């Protein structure tokens, strides 16, 4: 399998802030690859470097063997990106914008009209084609941004938080369209902080936190990477101090991760241990509001690796 994007020791600094910190990554041709991390983890910066919009501070990035710095003009022929924030002026109209985009990416005028109409119909944008951008909802603007890549059909299609602000029904339409793009031969890279989206869409996922790669693998591999296979999650009556005391008490069972309103213990034989834990806590006077035994989700994997929640960062 050919490597479509190769990233080596990539560093990007903005002043004193390190956005991407010595990142190494290979993205294979034809896969749907996810960059999972909270806001500010370096996902967008990485994507903008791949698409030659940002320049790396140090390190190397190759797209089909072409250096993003020295051969940017060649790289841009392979890459198309749907930005996190839709890029348009308030007086732009979707149809005109997409028609211009289609012509820039190589369609003749008649082809451009046809492909733009098709993509706009698929995404439910056709009725909005002649509205001004300021008249569109956030979700519709986002769809216009996604439409650019669907029209372009690039070898490497990049989507930065593709379904943020999009309603549930449209999300599925967008996911189907992105999958179809892959079927037609594109390698797809999706940056997201939505665990469900990552799990549903991506064949391999890189978990990124504070600019560093924390884990890499398929969804199953990432879940299996937690040494203890089960999670006991507790919710207690009490304040932070209650959780601190409970954490001290339960450390003997496995790794514990505490948030504001729950305590997770990563352990083996979850069902059996849950009863022990329940008895122990009751005997020490804790009031248990809820106890759950579950298999780890991607959110738990992220939590385990970083100690932070995806949405909180």
Q: Which residues bind other proteins (CB under 8 A)?
A: 14, 48, 51-55, 72-73, 76-77, 79-81, 83, 85, 87-91, 96, 100-101, 103-106
Pick 38 or 56: Cβ nearer other proteins? 56
Pick 69 or 275: Cβ nearer other proteins? 69
Q: In sequence order, what DSSP letters do the residues of 134-191 get, joined into one string?
A: GGS-HHHHHHHHHHHHHHH--SEEEEESTTTT--HHHHHHHHHHHHHHHHTT-EEEEE
Shortest Å distance, C-beta 53 to other proteins: 4
Shortest Å distance, C-beta 4 to other proteins: 16
Shortest Å distance, C-beta 45 to other proteins: 8
Residue 110: which residues within 8 A CB-CB, separation 6 or more? none
Shortest Å distance, C-beta 85 to other proteins: 6
Q: Buried b / exposed e across 30-54, counting CB within 10 Å, b at 16+? A: ebbbbbbbbeebbbbbbbbbbbbbb
Interaxial angle between packed helices 109-122 and 94-104, expressed in degrees from 0 to 180 and rounded to the nearest 10: 130
How far apart, in whole angstroms, are the C-alpha atoms of residue 35 and residue 13? 19
Contact 225, 44 (CB under 8 A): no
Pick 72 or 217: Cβ nearer other proteins? 72
Shortest Å distance, C-beta 104 to other proteins: 5
Pick 116 or 222: Cβ nearer other proteins? 116
Pick 52 or 186: Cβ nearer other proteins? 52
């Amino acid at each position: 399998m050919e490597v479509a994007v190769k990233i080596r020791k990539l560093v990007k600094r903005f002043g004193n802030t390190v956005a991407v910190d010595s990142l190494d990554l290979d993205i294979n041709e034809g896969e749907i690859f996810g960059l999972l991390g909270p806001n500010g983890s370096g996902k967008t910066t990485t994507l903008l470097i791949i698409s030659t919009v940002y320049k790396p501070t140090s390190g190397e990035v190759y797209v089909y063997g072409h250096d993003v710095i020295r051969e940017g003009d060649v790289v841009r022929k392979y890459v198309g990106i749907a930005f996190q924030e839709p890029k348009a002026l308030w007086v732009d109209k979707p149809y005109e914008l997409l028609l211009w985009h289609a012509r820039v990416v190589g369609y003749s005028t008649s082809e451009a009209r046809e492909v733009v109409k098709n993509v706009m119909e698929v995404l439910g944008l056709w009725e909005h084609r002649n509205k001004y951008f300021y008249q569109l909802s956030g979700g519709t603007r986002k769809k216009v941004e996604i439409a650019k890549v669907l029209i372009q059909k690039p070898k490497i299609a990049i989507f930065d938080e593709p379904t943020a602000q999009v309603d549930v029904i449209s999300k599925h339409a967008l996911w189907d369209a992105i999958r179809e793009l892959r079927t037609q031969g594109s390698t797809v890279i999706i940056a997201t902080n939505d665990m469900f989206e990552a799990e549903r869409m991506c064949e391999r996922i890189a978990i990124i936190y504070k600019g560093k790669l924390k884990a890499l693998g398929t969804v199953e591999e990432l879940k299996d990477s937690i040494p203890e296979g089960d999670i006991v999650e507790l919710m207690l009556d009490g304040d932070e101090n209650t959780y601190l005391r409970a954490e001290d008490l339960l450390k003997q069972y496995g790794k514990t991760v505490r948030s504001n309103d729950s305590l997770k213990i990563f352990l083996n034989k979850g069902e059996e241990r849950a009863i022990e834990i329940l008895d122990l806590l009751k005997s020490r006077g804790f009031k248990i509001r809820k106890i759950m035994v579950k298999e780890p989700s991607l959110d738990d994997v992220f939590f385990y690796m970083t100690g932070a929640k995806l949405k909180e960062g």
